[in-house]
Amino acid sequence: MSDAEILFEIKDGLGLMTLNRPKALNALSHGMILEMERVMPQWEKDPAVKAVVLRGAGDRAFCAGGDVAGLYREMRDDPNGTVRRDFFRDEYIVNRRIYRFAKPWISLIDGIDMGGGVGLSVHGSHSVASEKFLFAMPETTIGLFPDVGGGYFLTRLPGALGTFLALTSHRLKAADALWAGIVDAYVPSAAMGELQAALGAADLSGPDANRKVDAVIARFAGDAGVPGLPAMMADIDRCFSAESLQEIEAKLRKHPGEWAEKQLAALLKLSPLSMAITLEQLKRCANRSFEDSMTIEYRMSQRCMQKGHDFFEGVRALLIDKDQKPQWNPPTIDGVTREMVESHFKPVSNDLFFD
């Protein structure tokens, strides 16, 4: 394979994009995002491209998220650098292009799909998961929030599931993601290449192109197994349908059983500020358009990129020094003030607005 971080090819009428950083689990760099931003408008207009297929190189990951370690290194080595500003702006522009793409956008997810990777798959017209699929929105573990449109798609999941996934970083396999509507179909890993070839051979012309893609995928779709989420939903709804973190914590403490103990233990390790802004994000984005949600998230991202924020401490502890001992500020849920939360939602000088 080429040394390029992202590969582009037009073959059999398909625009093929391959995320090509397998050693880094295909984590998104700013350069990859810029290349997608450059190519997508061209393919959208090109009559030779009937659909886009997005895949990840290697046998482990579709895309494990954004290259947050690179953002940390810029803060450390070049405090006046612009990547922390431009990375999120360009990434969100790509997310919006996918959401509004005029042709079928088909993600073949044969491995890990987390964070920024979810932003590339969940907003497209079709997402197909294999048995190697593993989903999570793990941003609260590094002091961030579930961005890339998380405020939009998580709030549209059943019950309080979106809040649960956003706060706890809970991982889902294909059966649960299919049940929740995060992916559209299950296709075994061994059949992904055949599926791509069948899409290339199919007539995807006309206004019903998405329905034609559905029909091709259905020929390869298999049984993902029995989902575990339905049995958990009563507990999730009971404990995570709440107005505040304090209320969620109290509900978990009162709820009997090992499940609630496990969720509480997970929450108490996370950045209290990150969880608080995430809960506020979900409230604000629940009934907003995709574009409005992305504007809100961009404002949040820029506040999180300021020196001294929990984001940099989280990345340091989990990905740089790997001591697994982040020192959150404030260290407790009760220490988070309304003013701290509100500061993440104020307009910024380079606000991101869409036409």
Q: With a cut of 90, say whether residue 355 has pLDDT above it.
A: no
What confidence score (pLDDT) does residue 2 get?
73
What confidence score (pLDDT) does residue 341 get?
98
In this prediction, residues 106-128 reach a mean pLDDT of 98
Residue, of 78 and 104, whose pLDDT is higher: 104
Query: Do you find a cis peptide bond into 330, omega within 30 degrees of 0?
Result: yes
Between CA 149 and CA 146 the distance in angstroms is 8
Structure tokens given for 166: 């956003």
pLDDT tens across 43-83, in order?
A: 999 999 999 999 999 999 999 999 999 999 998 999 888 99
User: 180 falls in which pLDDT band (50, 70, 90)?
Assistant: very high
What confidence score (pLDDT) does residue 32 get?
97
Nearest to 128 by CA among 206, 72, 198: 198
Cβ(156)–Cβ(179) under 8 Å?
no
In this prediction, residues 212-221 reach a mean pLDDT of 98
162 three-state secondary structure = helix
In this prediction, residues 9-37 reach a mean pLDDT of 97
Between CA 124 and CA 96 the distance in angstroms is 10
Q: With a cut of 90, say whether residue 174 has pLDDT above it.
A: yes
pLDDT tens across 303-354, in order?
A: 999 988 999 999 999 999 999 999 999 999 999 999 999 999 999 999 999 8
175 three-state secondary structure = helix
Query: What sections of the chain are H helices per DSSP?
Result: 30-45, 68-77, 83-99, 116-121, 150-153, 161-168, 174-180, 192-201, 209-220, 229-240, 245-254, 258-267, 272-285, 290-304, 310-315, 338-342
C-alpha Rg value of the chain to the nearest Å: 20
Q: Which residues are catalytic?
A: 66, 116, 139, 147
Q: Where are the domains of the chain?
A: 6-220, 232-345
Cβ(191)–Cβ(199) under 8 Å?
no
Structure tokens given for 120: 């590339």
Cβ(28)–Cβ(63) under 8 Å?
yes
pLDDT averaged over every residue in the chain:
96
Q: What is the DSSP letter of 298?
A: H
How many angstroms separate the Cα of 210 from the Cα of each of 33, 82, 152? 25, 38, 22
What confidence score (pLDDT) does residue 1 get?
58
Architecture of domain 6-220: Alpha-Beta Complex (3.90)
In this prediction, residues 102-121 reach a mean pLDDT of 98
Q: With a cut of 90, say whether residue 22 has pLDDT above it.
A: yes
What confidence score (pLDDT) does residue 348 get?
94
pLDDT tens across 225-270, in order?
A: 999 999 999 999 999 999 999 999 999 999 999 999 999 999 999 9
Q: What is the DSSP letter of 7?
A: E
CA distance from start to end of the chain: 38
Q: With a cut of 80, say whether residue 21 has pLDDT above it.
A: yes
